[in-house]
């Protein structure tokens, strides 16, 4: 049977783009459908805008430090509207770069929403196309919890489109997306309250890291409610009232409520049943280790599946899938030792097992090495800013099985440690290494 494409991809987010480019490099005829804009969540309202917002927020903490180094007082103010224009321009530039690259590679972009007619046939807003293999890379979308009045709350997409920042905001959620957004908004002058049902923020992180971030954010003015649930939202004439259920009910009045708790696979109207593609109980596409769905010629990657939801993971899954199917190089992705960063203020990053996970797996053989110190950068100030480094080690093998950090350059440092861990680094290897002095990273070699 003759098909229009060797590979057709639904969704031009990070994973879909990576798959299209890699498949084209192998000589495949590739098409890709996108209903909104290339780049998916990462470029449009996720990683890139969030990181730019974190960069903007960090300046507020640098100005006072500069005075300690001899600079004159700086009475600057932040203009959200100017930032938004610059941010939107950057996002649009990325749209153009990716679109141009796809075109240069001969990849056809079809704008519209894709639905399945059968296992080899798609309908893209009325246009019928056929493909030998189909990759679903539609990502996930923000969803709001089932709480009375939640329609008055907003998502991250709406926040980034605001013409001006709210003065006070209540953020529902305690994972890394919620916490980095909370830190950034606080740094930009917004009065922030975080509400999470968990015992602490960043509940999936190492406890020392979570408590360090929580303590620092609290010190910088972010109010955090743990073990707390939002019972209802009520719209007021000049804002929003949140009824919080904890040990006792609390009423919180803010300008805006931001829901950052739930993401759901973006499978609306794909009609997967027409193609024989099954989903899990939580609505994610069921895939095997090769990203194959229950229909052998249909594959899925990224946040629409039941696997780790990170942009670099989606890209790696895309490349592994293409290498296997078109590059005659079958391989699967190793989900161990994937570093995760939290561009909060302060920044945090982690890789490997938490102390609790390690003790559950290795028992009494686990040893932890922890150090908290004031970086030299703050040495000329009276600021009580600390960096926390922590290594989790299996004493039997001496291998480092977890590395966690809060402080400047956490993402860059932990990313490097992740590679060392993947290569089997032991505590002795770190102890006998010589670092760059003076630097934050050198402290890892003296824990």
**Which residues have C-beta within 8 Å of that of residue 100, sequence separation ≥ 6?**
none
Q: Which two tokens stand for residue 45?
A: 């309202």
Strands 262-265, 298-300: pairing is: unpaired
CA dihedral 367, 372, 373, 378 (to 10 degrees): 140
Q: Of 113, 120, 404, 437, which one is the catalytic site residue?
A: 437
Is residue 437 among the annotated active site residues? yes
Closest CA to 31 of 139, 142, 112: 112
Provide DSSP, 238-306: TEEEEEEESSS-EEEEESEEEE-SEEEE--TT--GGGGT--B-TTSPBP--TTSB-SSTTEEE-GGGBS
CA distance 25 to 29: 10
8 A C-beta contact, residue 285 and residue 306: yes
Please compute, for residue 112, the number of CA atoms within 13 A of its CA located in the half-sphere on the CB side. Answer: 13
**Which residues have C-beta within 8 Å of that of residue 178, sequence separation ≥ 6?**
171, 172, 194, 196, 201, 260, 261
What SS3 state is found at 166?
Answer: coil
8 A C-beta contact, residue 276 and residue 284: no
For the annotated catalytic residues, the residue numbers are 437
């Amino acid at each position: 049977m003759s098909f229009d494409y060797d590979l057709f991809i639904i969704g031009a987010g990070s994973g879909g783009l990576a798959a299209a480019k890699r498949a084209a490099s192998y000589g495949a005829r590739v098409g890709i459908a996108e209903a909104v804009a290339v780049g998916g969540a990462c470029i449009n309202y996720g990683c890139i805008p969030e990181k730019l917002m974190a960069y903007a927020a960090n300046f507020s903490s640098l100005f006072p430090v500069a005075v300690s180094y001899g600079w004159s007082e700086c009475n600057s103010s932040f203009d959200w509207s100017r930032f938004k224009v610059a941010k939107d321009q950057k996002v649009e530039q990325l749209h153009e770069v990716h679109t141009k690259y796809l075109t240069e590679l001969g990849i056809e972009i079809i704008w519209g929403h894709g639905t399945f007619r059968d296992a080899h046939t798609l309908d893209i807003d009325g246009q019928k196309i056929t493909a030998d293999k189909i990759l679903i890379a539609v990502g996930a979308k923000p969803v709001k919890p089932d709480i009375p009045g939640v329609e008055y709350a907003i998502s991250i997409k709406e926040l980034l489109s605001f013409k001006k920042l709210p003065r006070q905001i209540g953020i529902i959620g305690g994972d890394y997306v919620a916490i980095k957004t909370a830190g950034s908004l606080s740094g930009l002058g917004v009065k922030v309250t975080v509400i999470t049902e968990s015992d602490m923020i960043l509940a999936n992180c190492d406890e020392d890291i979570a408590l360090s971030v929580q303590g620092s954010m609290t010190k910088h003015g972010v109010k955090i409610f743990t073990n707390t649930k939002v019972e209802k939202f009520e719209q007021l004439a000049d804002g929003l009232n949140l009824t919080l259920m904890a040990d006792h009910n609390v009423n919180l009045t803010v300008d805006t409520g931001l829901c950052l708790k739930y993401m759901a696979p973006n499978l609306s109207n794909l009609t997967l049943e027409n193609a024989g593609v099954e989903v899990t109980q939580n609505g994610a596409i069921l895939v095997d280790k090769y990203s194959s769905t229950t229909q052998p010629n249909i594959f899925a990657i990224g946040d629409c599946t039941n696997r780790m939801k990170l942009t670099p993971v989606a890209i790696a899954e895309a490349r592994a899938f293409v290498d296997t199917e078109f590059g005659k190089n079958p391989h699967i992705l190793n989900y161990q030792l994937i570093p995760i960063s939290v561009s909060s203020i302060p920044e945090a990053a982690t890789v490997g097992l938490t102390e609790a996970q390690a003790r559950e797996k290795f028992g009494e053989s686990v040893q932890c090495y922890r150090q908290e110190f004031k970086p030299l950068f703050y040495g000329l100030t009276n600021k009580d800013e600390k960096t926390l480094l922590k290594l989790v080690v299996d004493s039997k093998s001496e291998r480092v099985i977890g590395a966690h950090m809060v402080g400047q350059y956490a993402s860059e440092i932990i990313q490097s440690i992740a590679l060392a861990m993947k290569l089997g680094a032991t505590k002795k290897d770190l102890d006998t290494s010589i670092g760059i002095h003076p630097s934050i990273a050198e402290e890892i070699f003296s824990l």
